[in-house]
Structure 1
Amino acid sequence: MTVWDRPERPTRPVPLDRERIVAAAITLADEGGLETVSLRKVAARLDAGPMRLYGYISTKQELFDLMVDDVHAEILPDEQPGDWREALRALAHRTRQTALRHEWLADLLGGRPNLGPNGLAVTDAKLAALDGLADIDTIMRAVETVSAYCTGAIRREIANLRAERATGLSKRDWQRASGPHVTRMLATGRFPALTKAVHDGTDVDTETSFAAGLDWILDAVAARLGPPPA
């Protein structure tokens, strides 16, 4: 039985429910990351005894599942665009924006499917965007491919943000600090393709990079789907 199927306990003596517990856990995670989240700390935030929480949530993994599902509500758009590319593009950008608001989400993306109502709704919206354009197996592989790109790109961006905070160096500062080493390595002639990229490539911001990569993935999906029906 999943956490969503199990009924909640009565709310006495301190008013509690899963919604309040999850909201407190998300606040803790937003403030300090997943490592700051435990049933004991959530209980303290709610001014309740730790054992009280076990009437609502059995394990920390269940708590994480509920947290992920809660923030998935932020990914769903108010209206589903009619064009499949726009629909998948919107969901991808909203996933990135949600992860930037809740950086801990990047650590929990890409694992087993989210079976909560919001997670299922997001998956359904992705599948619905491609409904009727190909057989279901092709549609599922397309959705998996777009999701895999988004997960990888989001995790890389969040990892860079964390590195900036840990080192105190912005991307530009880090590039300046590591510049002499990179220059020496490139001067050896061992890395001609990388040298060309460093000297001739255009440095773009993360949002532009994410959007460009997403468009390439969507182009690949379009090629697999074939021409639209006449």
Structure 2
Amino acid sequence: MVVWERPEPPERPAPAPLSRERIVRAAIRLADADGLDAVSLRKVAAELGVGPMRLYGYIATKEELLDLMVDAVHAEIRPTGDGWREVLRSLAEATRRAAHRHEWLADLIGGRPQLGPDSLAASEAVLAAMGDIDLDTVVPAVAAVNAYVVGAVRREIAERRAERASGMDQRQWQASYGPYLRRTLATGRFPALARVVHDGPHLDADETFRAGLDFLLDGIAARVVG
């Protein structure tokens, strides 16, 4: 029986009452503060002021705990809008915002489908918005948006982590490599790259995300109309 179907132990009088929700919220607090390395059943138990063995009545493994954490964050992802394009945009932007609030989410999405109730509710909202569009278009279109978001947020979170590790933000890092890049481009070996560096748009993270998403949605729209 999967964790979402498995009943919780009956309540009992205790100095520190437990529930699956309280356990998951404690794990999310730890992960938000210090990343996934800070999450273990022992550390979560300590956060809640109970012994580790008490948690096993609610959660059998760390993998179950991670699944529950991801599903809890999906409660923050509620795609809305009129029509498929607005809903897909809402899905992408809401997922990105959730990953910015919970950096560890970027490490856990993009693999096998999430099947918890909140994850399924988000998927239902998206698929319902696709209306009567042919499923041969719907399935790869939604998959393409999800793949774009996963790639984009992982890149953004990787940049955040690099800034913390190096002590340099993106502008400072670019400045440190500027002389090398100018010398390299001056050789004439990379003319297309030089044109982009000198004349291309220099978008921030928000602009880059939205521009890429627009390209993707435009492509889906062409297929839907076609």
Give the TM-score normalised by structure 1: 0.94
2:125 matched to which residue of 1?
Answer: 125
Structure 2 CA distance, aligned partners of 1:50 and 1:35?
A: 17
Deviation at 1:226, TM superposition (A): 1.6
Question: Offset at 1:83?
Answer: 2.1
* Aligned counterpart, 1:109: 109
What's the counterpart of residue 85 of structure 1? 85
Distance (Å, rounded) in 1 between the aligned partners of 2:127 and 2:47: 39
Q: Quote how far apart the aligned CAs of 1:170 are.
A: 0.8
**CA deviation string 1:188-222 (max 9, x = no partner):** 22211111111111211101110010011001111
| Cα offset, 1:10, TM superposition | 2.5
Displacement of 1:156 after TM fit? Answer: 0.4
Q: Which residue of structure 1 lines up, in the alignment, with residue 224 of structure 2?
A: 225
Contact 1:66 1:116 in 2 (8 A): yes
Does the Cα contact within 8 Å between 1:74 and 1:94 map onto a contact in 2? yes
1:67 aligned residue: 69
1:146–1:217 Cα contact (<8 Å) kept: yes
1:11 Cα deviation (Å)?
Answer: 3.5
The answer for the alignment partner of 1:150 in structure 2 is: 149
Instruction: List 4+ stretches of structure 1 deviating above 6 A.
Output: none
Letter in 1 for 2:119: G
Work out whether residues 131 and 139 of structure 1, in 8 Å CA contact, stay in contact via their aligned partners in 2: no
**1:198-217 alignment to 2 at 5 Å?**
198-217=197-216
CA contact (8 A) 1:18 1:56 kept: yes
Aligned residue number for residue 190 of structure 1: 189
Number of residue pairs the alignment of both structures matches: 224
Deviation readout 1:84-132 (Å, 9 max, x if unpaired)? 1111111111110111000100111111111111100111112112121
Cα displacement string for residues 149-201 of structure 1 (whole angstroms, at most 9, x for unaligned residues): 11101110110011011111011100101111111221222211111111111
Within 5 Å, which residues of 2 pair with 1:154-193? 154-193=153-192
Q: Is residue 2:143 matched to residue 1:141?
A: no
Give the aligned residue type for 1:185.
T
Structure 2 unaligned runs (5+)?
Answer: none
RMSD in angstroms over aligned alpha carbons? 1.1
Q: Of residues 38, 41, 44 in structure 1, which corresponds to 2:40?
A: 38
The aligned amino acid for 2:125 is A
3-state SS, counterpart of residue 96 of structure 2 = helix
Whole-angstrom distance in 1 between the partners of 2:180 and 2:109:
34
% same residue: 62
CA-to-aligned-CA distance 1:12-54 (integer Å, 9 cap, x gap): 3331110000000000000001111000000000001111111
